[in-house]
Amino acid sequence: LIGDRSCPVRRSVYVYVYAVCLGRRSLASFPSKSHPSPVILPPPSMFGMGDGQTESKHHKTPPSPCLLRRHLARLKSSPYETLLLDGGTGEELFLRGVPDDRKIWSATAIVHERYHAILEEVHRSFIRSGSQVVTTNSYGIVPGVGFNDGKEVIHLTSLAGEIARKSVFRGSGDIDKEEQQALVLGSLGPLVESYRPDLIMDHDEGVLHFAFPIEGLYKHVDMYIIETSSTTKEAFQAIDALAFFNRSPSRAPRPLLVSFTLKQNGKIRSDESVVDAIPAIIKYCDERDVEIVGVLFNCCEPEAIDKALVEIQRNKHIHGFLHHPPSAGNDEPEHDEKNSEHNTKVLLGAYANRLMPVQEDWTISGSTSPNHFRNDLSPERYWSDFVRRWCLCHGTGDEECLSSLQRRGGLQIVGGCCGITPGHINVLRNGLSKSNTEKR
């Protein structure tokens, strides 16, 4: 019955029957006043794959909560601590011979087993370059490109998680003594299109579809990340799906990162301001008991991230929601008294792409060729002109940055998106390492 996702009547009957069986009429127990109660989700065991388990020949070692908590404690302890993400997995796959299928894009490397080894090597190449995190290649396993069957989505996203999990371990011959080198982020991509807030699913349908990758990835990831969100509305869908998934007492909930894609003016593509979106996301997660760790910006030009960071720096009312707000000078920023003691605070981060600006009406379903890369964002320039200032200072030149180490850009989780290579990540790693040495 659930296999026919195109039939709303069958779906509604299933939801009702499931709700009756559990004695739960809705998710109204969540105290949200900002959105109608979402639809009841199917149980995780509906496909015989409870708690995200699928049969696999890949790596079995579970995530390490200790490694994750050490990283989070380090980041929260000092504004100068950073977490280095990976770069653009999809483009690296294509450079290494995986076909650029304009329909399912990077999901080709999951669907076809012959590309699994290439995907694992892409993950490992980022780790060798300095990444402390790899992101699962599950971004494109979504209904918008034809993955509508829940069982298939769970299976494919589980494969993506397993390949990523395998890549972060340094083999020792004894599986119980293997050392985890990096965290694994479970990517939850936009369900329809990456840059189109006008094309998102309605809330209940979106919640239902986000449930499948959440289940498939669960056993293999340290954190989830909602990527390239073009509106808070779609992020809310994923948060509701995760909140429901977390209700099982047999699962240890995974923390969450939420990342927005920006327009050239520094606003989210839905025209929402970043200073409005950050507290809205925190509030929504708090109401649903979802642990939100950070808010990031990705898959946009680094110049757009610059503008968003300026807006965050200038709007003091947002600083109370941040562990380490941007600082415009040697003094600590003045927090808005109303929000300065807000219980939930988040880290800030960003990972830009190397694409030419994406037009507002662009869709992958309507594209016949890849987007063009800009030729002015070398690894050295990405570090010196952007990431260095995001992390260490918000000045306009090297001399100013070096002379004022108290000046902070406020971003602590950094990396790259489409077109950002292991070479870029290596330069970021070296730059951050050198800066930390100078600081001491």
Across the range 328-340, mean pLDDT stands at 49
| pLDDT above 90 as % of the chain | 64
Residue range 167-215, pLDDT digits in tens: 998 754 444 556 789 999 999 999 999 989 999 999 999 999 999 999 9
So what's the pLDDT on residue 327? 74
Among 13-17, 70-74, 272-276, the minimum mean pLDDT is found in: 13-17
pTM for this entry = 0.84
The two tokens of residue 99 are 């076909």
Q: Which sign, positive or negative, has the C-alpha torsion 215, 194, 424, 326?
A: negative
Of the pLDDT bands very low, low, confident and very high (cuts 50, 70, 90), residue 284 is very high
Residue ranges and CATH numbers for the domains of the chain are 60-332+339-438 (3.20.20.330)
Q: Which residue has the higher pLDDT, 34 or 102?
A: 102
User: Does the annotation list 300 as a binding residue?
Assistant: no
Gap between the Cα atoms of 318 and 333, Å rounded: 11
6, pLDDT greater than 70: no
For the ranges 64-73, 218-227, 286-295, the lowest mean pLDDT is seen at 64-73
Residue 418 marked ligand-binding: yes
pLDDT of residue 103: 83
- Taking all residues of the chain, what is their mean pLDDT, rounded to a whole number? 83
**Is a pLDDT exceeding 50 seen at residue 19?**
no
Question: And the tokens for 166?
Answer: 């395998």
Residue-wise DSSP of 106-127: GGHHHHSGGGHHHHHHHHHHHH
pLDDT score recorded for residue 51: 52
- The first and second tokens of residue 155, run together, are 């299976």
pLDDT digits (tens, 9 = 90+) for 77-107: 999 899 999 999 999 999 999 998 878 889 9
Taking the C-alpha atoms of residue 309 and residue 312, their distance in angstroms, rounded to an integer, is: 5
State yes or no: 393 annotated in a binding site.
no
